[in-house]
Every structure is written in structure tokens, then in C-alpha cells.
Amino acid sequence: MKRALRLLGVAALLSGCTTTPIAHAPTASADNCAPTAQFAFVCGANKPEDLAHIPATPWIIASGFAIGSGLKLVDSRTRRASLWFTAASDQVAPDPRYPDCATPPDPTLFTARGLSLRMTGPRQKQGQGRLLVVNHGGREAIEVFAIDARGEGAPTLRWQGCLAMPPGHVANAVASYTDGTVIATVLTRPGTSITDFVLGRITGGVYERSPQDSAFRLLPGTELPGNNGLETARDDSGFYVIAFGLRDVVAYARHDTRRRLWRAQAPEFMPDNIHWDGDRLLLAGMVRDEPACGGVRKIVNGVADGMLCHRGYAVAQLDPETRRFSLVAYGPPDPVFNGVSAAVMVDDDLWLGSYQADWIAVRQLPYTLP
């Protein structure tokens, strides 16, 4: 009863849509990724921390937040994932605009975290785009790929180069503007920790590098407790960044970041990644106050707990004009899927990424979306 009441509270706070019961399925096994009561799964994704859907195609890109996990390409029709970047000769085409790395990421080390996909053709549906990937494997850098989804078969990608993060800085999320300017978040700058931002202390920042720059620079005023998910405004006027320690979405103007435009706190869940998905600005994350885990995240012996206890999840749409959150989906803890961090929608299915699980979760959307 407490579980039902709490989930209904999440729905009411997020103010959105009506739900229908979730059909029950066989219990999952950690070995075979069988369906659970909530989800079907795409096996072998290996910590798909972030997801990106190639518009007007059935293809989804998944990062892999584990050593050597790299990038996966997922066919939403068959729900099968395959390793996408192997560093084969036809996948490497260096571009002088991204000069910081002489060689592509080593597939055995490639540890992909945040993703940002921007379609670059004359029309979005033409299928050409630029994929930015946060890489921790062998170097701390933003890897740049050109993708081509114009053919009938699977899309292709070509590594073009990388943009190195400042020494000692580990990127979390990445985004870009139309002119090629790249921005990235750092969750914890040198000398700070996860425990610090859980306590509400400033730890991170947003860094920018224009095509004319030779290095990233910190944008003044963007220092927040746990700078996490990141996305640019549709008109390139600014960006939205998640302060994970506060559950806030904070908006900044592009050319003057010293003063925040606005901030909106996500009700009852901890948003991780934030992305445009079509015309919707989607956020996904774990439930803040989870009874199954003893409530909110705690500091134990001076260290923030790792949130390995399975928490419920929520996905919401944010309207930047009204700053109103609308519920897309929510659910209780799942026995084999924890650490919800990203969401995309393909037709009537919701796809969830996780920084902890070894598969992607899929469920139908019985909601009427705004």
C-alpha cells in the first residue's frame, strides 16, 4: 500500500497522463535477461548509460559505461544490439576540425558515457548526423563521429577525431550548437567528490569549446552541485543542465552564463540525462525517496551510498517555456534493472538506459502524451 501511494504521489506531482496496469511476465534471470513484470530487455548492452534515437529510423545508439563496452547499435524492430564501432579502416576518417587525437579510441578500452546526436543534413530526415561521445577509455575526451543512416540497411559511422578534456577533468554529458560549438559537463572537478554534491556543495561545471578554440574553458556561473545531463535549446540561445545533487534543471543563456535564467526542481525523482527526443525534452532517473532502499540517498561513514539498492524510476517531459514537468512513465523497483539514466521513445515503446544494468529495458507506453 505504501508503494502504491508513493507512486501515485509521483504521478500527481509530475501532473501528466493516465496510466493502465502493466501486464505481468515471467520473472527475469540475471543470466538470460528474461522479461520482468515491467520490462522486456535488449541483452548485451553492458551499462547503456545514455541512448540516442536516429530520427525517422528504427535505430537506437547506446553508450557503454564499462571498459571496452563502446557503442552499441540497436535495431528496435528485432530488439537486438550489436557492437557498432570496431575501429575498422572504413570507420576511421580523421577531420582536421577535431585535432586532439591522432588515433581512434581503442575498442578494447572504449568506455562510452554521454551521447549527443545532431542531424546535420539539409533536413533532419536525410539521415546524416554528428555523434558526440564522452569517452573514459584510454583518454578523457569527446569523440566525434559522422553517421550516415540514408541507406536501407544499418547506419554507418566514421570516427573523425576527438576534443580532449582539460587535464584531470572527467566529462559526464555532452551537447552541441548548430555552429559546431561543443559543451560538456564535469560532475566532479578535481578536489571534489560525489559525497560533496549529495550534500549540496558545488562540484562541477559546464565547459565550452568553439570551432575556433584550441581547448575547453569553464563557463563562469555554471558551477553546480553535480553537473550531469546537458542539452542545448532548440534555437541555440542557451542550454539546460541538471544539477544532480539538487534534482534541478538549470537554464543558461548561451552568451552570458554568469546569471541563471531559471531553475526547476524535478519532483520526487533524480533526473540524470536530458535530451530532445523529437519535440519532447525528456528526463529520466531514479526515484528520490525509495522505501525499499530506506528512503533518500544517504551519507554512510562520510561517503555517499552507491545507490546499488534497486530504486523505482520516472521519465518526464519538461516544457522549457512553462517549466512544467509532465509524467511519461514511472514504475517500482525492478529485480534486475536499476540505475535508470536515459530514455528515448520509438513509436509506442519507451526505451530506458542504465548506468548499472547490462541491458536496455523496453516497455509499452499506454499514456496519452501532451
| Residue 152 domain-assigned (yes or no) | yes
* Measured distance CA(303)–CA(307) in Å, rounded: 12
The closest alpha carbon to 249, from 234, 266, 235, 232, belongs to: 266
Q: Is residue 369 part of a domain?
A: no
Q: What is the pLDDT of residues 132-175, one digit of tens each?
A: 999 999 999 999 999 999 988 999 999 999 999 999 999 999 99
Each residue's pLDDT tens digit, 83-129: 999 999 999 999 999 999 999 999 999 999 999 999 997 754 578 99
Query: What is the pLDDT of the chain when averaged over all its residues?
Result: 91
CATH code for the domain in which residue 263 is found: 2.120.10.30
Q: Is 370 part of a structural domain of the chain?
A: no
Looking at residue 123, its pLDDT comes to 59
Give counts: helices (H), strands (E), the chain.
Answer: 2, 26
Burial of 334 (0-12, 13-18, 19+ CB in 10 A): buried
> Total domain count for the chain?
1
Q: Is residue 39 part of a domain?
A: yes
Cell numbers found for residue 124: 533532419
Residue 277 lies in a domain: yes
Residue 196 pLDDT: 97
Q: Establish if 249 belongs to a structural domain.
A: yes
Residue type, 197: F
Range of 8's domain? 2-364
- CA–CA gap between residue 93 and residue 161 (Å, rounded): 8
What pLDDT band is residue 241 in, cutting at 50, 70 and 90?
A: very high
Does 101 reside within a domain?
Answer: yes
Over range 264-285, report the average pLDDT: 96
